[in-house]
Structure 1
Amino acid sequence: MPSIDLPAPRQLVVVDPFSSGAVLARRARELYGMESVAVRTSDALPAALTATYAPQDYRAEVPFSTAEETAARVEELCGGRPDAVICGSEPGVEVFDALAAHWDLRPNSGSSQARRDKFLMQSALRDAAIRCIPHFKAADADAIVQWCADSGLSEFVVKPVKSFATDGVFFCSTPDEVRAACERLFRRADFAGETITDVLVEERVRGPEYVVDSVSLDGTHFVVDMFSYTKETVDGNPVYRSMRAVEIDGHPGLVAYVERALTALGIDNGPAHSELIVTDEGPVLIETGARMHGGQGPRLVEISSSHSLVDLTLASRVAPEVFRRETRTRPTLERGVVECFLFSPASGVIGANRVRESCRGLDSYLYDTCDQTPGDRIERTTDLITSYGRVVLAHQDPELLNRDVEHVLDLDRRGVLIDVLPGA
C-alpha cells in the first residue's frame, strides 16, 4: 500500500502555561489539532501557580534562556518556526512579547516592560492623556515617604512594581505605615521569583471595583466579560472576597476606557485582564495583565456567558477568521455566577474540612476547589495565592444567588468550613 504524506500538525508555544493558561494546549489540540511546546521562564514561581501545570499536554518543555537561544531550541523541536505563540500567565508576559517579536507572530507594540511594570503602565496612560493614578517609584523607602509627604494625598497603596495576585500590596495612611510596607518589600522575592529593587507608591482610590477581560486582534479590542468584586483588608493587605459576573452592556464607560487603555499599552493581539475602580470622576485603571484572567476566571465565563474567553484567546492567535466570526455578536450574560474566596485565619494544618458538606446543598452550589484533607499544610490568608479555596455559585435568580453568597461567606468568617490546627 503506498505511503500517504499527512500534513504536519500545527505547532503552538505556550509561555508559562500555569493557572488558567494551563488549559490552552489541551484546547488547542481539541479545536485545531495543534501540538504544543511549553516555555518556562523561572524555577522560582510559587507552587500554588506551578501546580496547575499539565506536562502531559506538551510534546516538550523548554527553559527560557534568551529569546534567540530559546527560539532556536523550539525551532529544533518543531522543525521550524512555530505557527503561534501565546502567554499562559503573568510571569511570562515579557518573554512572550520577546518570542512573538522574534518570530513576527502577531507581536504587541510599544514597551513590553509597561505591560508588567505598574509604574510604567500608569505612565503610559498619562502620556496618552488617559486618566491614571498619581504614582511614584523609588529604590529606597526615604524617597517614597518623602513623595507621600509632598503629594498632599492622605491614603496610599504600596506594592512591588511587578506585583500580581495581590502580592505585596499594602494600604497605608501614615508615613510610618508607608515605611514599614517598603521595608517588608525591598530585597525580598516577588511571586515571579525576582528580587524587589523598586517599589511603587500610588494614591489609594476608592469606588466599586471591576475586572474586564478582553481579546484583541490587530488593534481591535473585544470585551468578552466583566466582573465586579469585593475585597477585605487583612493586616493592611487587600484580599479578594467575592467576584460576580455582570452584564457588559450595563457599563459602556468601562468598556470605552479599557479599549483606550489597551491601545495605550500596545496590547494589539491576544488577551488582557484589566482591573479598574470607578470613582466619582469615572473609571481608572489599577493594572492590566497581557494574558487571560487567571484562576477560575475563564471557567466562570464558560458558565455564565454566551462567549468563551479561552476559545477567543486561542482564536486571536491561531485562527483570526474564527475570531472575527465569533466577535460579530456582543456577549450576553446567560446566568449569574459568583466566586467566593475562602480565608484561613492562621497557618497550620487542616484538622477538618467541611466546605463541601456545608455548601453543596445550596440551590446555587456549582463546585468548589477545596480538596484538602486532615494533615495538609495551610497558610494564613494574606493575598490571592494564600486563599485556600473557592466556592462557585451560579443561578438564574439573583436574590437566591445573593442569599447563598452571604451564607457561604458567613460560614467562612465564623470558622465553620475548616479547622486549622497548629503545625510546622
Structure 2
Amino acid sequence: MPDPAILSGTGTGKLVVVDPYSSGSALARRAKELYGLDSIAVLTSQTLPTALLATYPAEDFVAELRYTDVLTTARALEALCGGRPGHLICGSEPGVEAYDQLAAHWGMRPNTGSSQARRDKFLMQERLRDAGVRYIPHHLAEDIESAVEWCAASGLDEYVVKPVKSFATDGVFFCSSPDEVRAACEKLFGRDDIAGELITQVLVQERMVGTEFVVDSVSLDGSAFVVNMFRYAKETVAGNPVYRAMSSVDVGDYPGIVLYVEQVLEALGIENGPAHSELILTEDGPVLIETGARMHGGLGPRLVEESSSHSVIDLTLASRVAPDEFDRLTQAQPSLWRGVIECFLSAQTGGVVVANRVWEVCRELDSYLFDTCGQVPGDHIEKTTDLITSCGRVVLAHADPGVLERDLERVLEMDRRGTLVEVVPGA
C-alpha cells in the first residue's frame, strides 16, 4: 500500500470503490478521465471466484484496503484521504452491504431501509410484499424437510430453489416436483455460495412463466432513471438456468416495466446510485426475480455504450460525484441507435481445449463486434452450468434487427455443435 504522503490531493479528491470487480472495474479509470479523481479500492472478500477476482484492475487505484468492520475501515480510509473521502460507490454485488454501512456512517447519500434486503433474496421479496408491490410466492427454508413440505403443500407445478444471496445464477435450480426440490437442497445446504459464505438457508419460490428482462437504472435522491433494458434467452441444463443471449430493447416500448421497477426501487430503499433488476414479464404483468444495488455486471455497461444514447457507467459516477451533471444527462429519455446482442457460449462438457475458432468464424458475420473467448489449445474449461462457467461471449451489433437475429442463430447453432470451441472431455 502506498504511503499516505504520496496520495495526491485532499480528501474531496478521492473516490472509494467498494469491490471494483466485474463491470465495477471500469469505475476508477472513468472517474479519472471525467473528474480527475484518484480512487481507493475497498475489498470485502478473499473467497470470490478466481474469474471474478481477476477483473480487479489494481493498477487503476492509488491504494487498497481490506474491509473489516465499518468503523475500522472508515478510520483507515480517512487516514489515507486526510479526512472523509469525497465520494463513495459500490462496484459489485459482494460489496453492497459494506458500501451501505460506509455510506450511512459518513452520511454520503445512503440508501435507506434494510441493507440486508438488498442482498438477501428472501428479505427482498418480503419487502415487496410489505410495500404492496407484486412479488413471487416464496418460502425460507433452513432445512431440507421445510423446503419439501412447503412445495408439497403449495399446489404449484414448478419451483425455483437458490441460496438467499445467490448471484450470477450460482446455485439456482428449476424443479418440477418436491423430489427435485429435495435433490436441489441436498446440493446446496452445507456448501459455500459464490461469495464464500456457508449456505444455511435457501429460498424456495414459484417458478414464474414469461419473458425475462433485465433493467438498469440509476437514482438520485429518490428519483430513478431507467437507462436501458435487455431481454434474456436461457436454457435449462440439468435443472440449472444457463444464459444463451441478452438482446437490447428500447426502454420506451415497456412503460409498465419502468413503472414497476420504480416501485421496486422505492420498496427496497434504493434512492441513490445504480440498480440492476431482473424480472419476468408474465401475463399478469412484471414481477421481480431480484435487484442488485450496483451496476449490471459483466459486459452489460459496455453493451449499453455500444447501443444507447446514455451510459450506465457515466450516470453511475455522476449520481455519486456530480449531481448537477446527473440532472443534465437525464433530461432526455434513453434511445437505441442500434441493437446489440450478447451471445453466451456454453461448453457441453468439461475438458481440454483443442481448437478455438471463435474469432476466425464469427468475424465474418455482418454484425460481429467483438468476443471474449481467449482460450488456447491446452487450456482446461469447465462444463457450463451457470453464468460464471460460460466459456465466453460473442457480441453482435447492428442497426437492422433482422441481421442481428440471423447472426445470433448462427452463433448459437455453431456453439451447440461444438465447432467454435472444440473440447476433448476429461482432465
Give the TM-score band, short-chain normalised: over 0.9
Task: Give the match's secondary structure for 1:241.
Answer: strand
Is 1:49 the counterpart of 2:87? The answer is no
User: Equivalences for 1:14-25 in 2 at 5 Å?
Assistant: 14-25=17-28
Inter-partner Cα distance in structure 2 for 1:384 and 1:159: 14
Inter-partner Cα distance in structure 2 for 1:96 and 1:10: 19
User: Equivalences for 1:364-403 in 2 at 5 Å?
Assistant: 364-403=367-406
Task: Give the match's secondary structure for 1:304.
Answer: coil
Contact 2:67 2:73 in 1 (8 A): yes
1:62 matched residue in structure 2: 65
What TM-score do you get using the length of structure 2 for normalisation? 0.97
Is 1:190 the counterpart of 2:193? The answer is yes
Indicate which of 232, 241, 245 corresponds to 2:244. Answer: 241
Inter-partner Cα distance in structure 2 for 1:234 and 1:188: 21
Indicate which of 155, 162, 165 corresponds to 1:162. Answer: 165
1:213 matched residue in structure 2: 216
What TM-score do you get using the length of structure 1 for normalisation? 0.98
Contact 2:38 2:61 in 1 (8 A): yes
Contact 1:25 1:58 in 2 (8 A): yes
1:233 Cα offset (Å):
0.4
Contact 1:9 1:35 in 2 (8 A): no
User: Equivalences for 1:334-353 in 2 at 5 Å?
Assistant: 334-353=337-356
Is 1:319 the counterpart of 2:295? The answer is no
Inter-partner Cα distance in structure 2 for 1:296 and 1:147: 38
User: Equivalences for 1:67-216 in 2 at 5 Å?
Assistant: 67-216=70-219
Contact 1:9 1:33 in 2 (8 A): no
Indicate which of 277, 285, 295 corresponds to 2:280. Answer: 277
Residues 346-377 of structure 1: per-residue CA shift (max 9 Å, x gap): 11121110111110011100000001111112
Is 1:297 the counterpart of 2:300? The answer is yes
Residues 9-28 of structure 1: per-residue CA shift (max 9 Å, x gap): 71111011000000000000
Inter-partner Cα distance in structure 2 for 1:422 and 1:285: 38
User: Equivalences for 1:8-19 in 2 at 5 Å?
Assistant: 10-19=13-22
Residues 37-72 of structure 1: per-residue CA shift (max 9 Å, x gap): 101001000011111110000111100100110111
1:7 Cα offset (Å):
6.7
Task: Give the match's secondary structure for 1:52.
Answer: coil
Inter-partner Cα distance in structure 2 for 1:225 and 1:6: 35
Task: Give the match's secondary structure for 1:344.
Answer: coil
Matching residue's letter, 1:190: D
2:415 matched residue in structure 1: 412
Q: What's the % identity of the aligned pairs?
A: 67
Stretches of structure 2 lacking an aligned partner (at least 5 in a row): 1-7
Inter-partner Cα distance in structure 2 for 1:365 and 1:164: 28
